Amino acid sequence: MSQIAELNETAELKLGDITVEFPVITGSENEKGIDISSLRGKSGYITLDLGYKNTGSCTSAITFLDGELGILRHRGYSIEDLADKASFIEVAFLVIYGELPTKDQLAEFEAGIKEYLMPPAGIQQMLKAFPSTGHPMGMLSSAICALHAWYPESLNAYRPEDQKALTYRRLLGFLPAISAWIYCVQNGQDFTKADASLDYSENFMKMMFNKDVAPAVVSAINKLLILHVDHEQNCSASTVRMVGSSHANLYASISAGIDALWGPLHGGANQKVIEMLEAIKADGGDADKWLAKAKDKDDPFRLMGFGHRVYKNFDPRARIIKKAADEVLNNLGIVDPVLEIAKALESKALADPYFAERKLYPNVDFYSGIIYRALGIPTEMFTVMFAIGRLPGWIAQWREMRIDGDPIGRPRQIYTGYPPRDFVAMENR
């Protein structure tokens, strides 16, 4: 269980003529939470918090973020340091096991993943069965869930940790390969083979494009994967925890997380950002016109890649990715007009009262698609890139939830339907 300070603080709630007292818990970064687990028993009341904007679902020691100050740390290490100084597999080990790996631990972890760089051949048949209209995220979640069939021992929710760790390594090895195979199927290419002599990002890119990958590209992918590794209780991580809380297997839990990430309000935003920038470019590149649409309550258009449930300041990942976008495009000698449109939108939005008052800043998705595009990754694969980066975080969250013995997730509701009524026979309807 994470470090919780016992400060004997309490909170009182006055409900009609009763006052109910609750313990206040304090996290290791002095975040405060009112523990209301006794509320219904003491008062018959529940709380209501649409979208869980003010509600904590768990305690966790994996990621700390401060939305007001734009701080993001994994197991105490800043995202800036990790993005600059670590490899993706090092950071994967860190978020899952809590410490930066020693040289031997990293070598063992990496070797364990490299045993599973080639998924079962049956997955290839499965991917080939999809019509061309299949979206990579739907194909990915289907394939990941299907893996249980090759490893039925994974259905035993009560296996010891070392056997669960086998599934962590299989997922970390298989997910990039399945992602690359989805690209191959959708582009009429033969299935590629993994090359265990390459590092994680390089092997993935080579499996996708079936050609050698420039070091600058490998470095950019490594950094992007790190920047997506975990983000505390976001929609997809909460989904992985919710599914895992029923003691469903890890393949099913990760598959559900992929589906939650797919949504355009979450990880699907990186695809929508590029589609939005392309639309603005095709429409003449008038940033003012599109910002006006984003502010118009009668217009469903939103500025994709802007705003965040937690960050009410710059998303620290967006700063790093924006700098990397410039570097990658300069390195590759690419001039991409949508990058200029993105920068124009950003500077105008940041100076606009509508966005300033609502504390809407660029998030992780605003610039990431520009780099993926420069690296030749198709738009529909952008959210798959997000999933590859987020996989270690999802595994870490699922593992922590099981180690902490969190109960099955089962929120309550306030019923607003009909009062009791008699059944109406068909002839009387």
- Where in the sequence numbering do the catalytic residues fall? 308, 365
Q: How far is the CB of 366 from ligand SDX (least distance, A)?
A: 7
Q: How far is the CB of 414 from ligand SDX (least distance, A)?
A: 20
Q: Is 79 in the site for ligand SDX (CB under 6 A)?
A: no
Which of 116, 306, 382, 394 is in the footprint of ligand SDX by CB under 6 A?
306
Which of 234, 239, 249, 368 is in the footprint of ligand SDX by CB under 6 A?
234
Q: Which is nearer to ligand SDX, 266 or 322 (CB)?
A: 266
Cβ density class 310-325: b for 16+ within 10 Å, e for less: bbbebbbbbbbbbebb
408-411 contacts, C-beta under 8 A, 24 or more apart = 408/245, 408/246, 408/247, 409/57, 409/241, 409/242, 409/245, 409/246
Is the C-alpha dihedral spanning 225, 228, 229, 235 positive or negative?
A: negative
Cβ density class 240-258: b for 16+ within 10 Å, e for less: bbbbbbeebbbbbbbbbbb
Dig out the tokens for 69 from the structure: 């100050």
Could you tell me which stretch among 40-48, 89-97, 308-316, 408-416 binds ligand SDX (CB under 6 A)? 308-316
Tell me how far apart the alpha carbons of residues 98 and 76 are, in angstroms, rounded to a whole number.
9
Q: Is 265 in the site for ligand SDX (CB under 6 A)?
A: yes
Q: Which is nearer to ligand SDX, 177 or 396 (CB)?
A: 396
Which of 206, 223, 231, 241 is in the footprint of ligand SDX by CB under 6 A?
231
Q: Is 362 in the site for ligand SDX (CB under 6 A)?
A: no
Q: How far is the CB of 327 from ligand SDX (least distance, A)?
A: 22
Binding letters toward ligand SDX, positions 364-383, x by CB under 6 A: xx------------------
Q: Is 308 in the site for ligand SDX (CB under 6 A)?
A: yes
3-state helix, strand and coil shares in percent for the chain, rounded to the nearest 5: 55, 5, 40
Q: Is 305 in the site for ligand SDX (CB under 6 A)?
A: yes
Q: Is 269 in the site for ligand SDX (CB under 6 A)?
A: yes
Q: Is 75 in the site for ligand SDX (CB under 6 A)?
A: no
Which of 89, 360, 375, 388 is in the footprint of ligand SDX by CB under 6 A?
360
Could you tell me which stretch among 133-141, 242-250, 357-365, 367-375 binds ligand SDX (CB under 6 A)? 357-365
Tell me how far apart the alpha carbons of residues 79 and 71 are, in angstroms, rounded to a whole number.
8
Angle at 200 between CA 197 and CA 206, to 5 degrees: 75
Q: Which helix (H) or strand (E) holds 13?
A: strand 10-15
Q: Is 266 in the site for ligand SDX (CB under 6 A)?
A: yes
Q: Is 48 in the site for ligand SDX (CB under 6 A)?
A: no
What single DSSP character describes residue 152?
G
Taking CA atoms, 280 is separated from 83, 247, 350, 368, 427, in Å, by: 31, 46, 18, 18, 57
Q: Which is nearer to ligand SDX, 173 or 362 (CB)?
A: 362
Tell me how far apart the alpha carbons of residues 354 and 302 are, in angstroms, rounded to a whole number.
12
64 three-class SS: strand
Q: How far is the CB of 108 from ligand SDX (least distance, A)?
A: 29
Which of 159, 293, 302, 348 is in the footprint of ligand SDX by CB under 6 A?
302
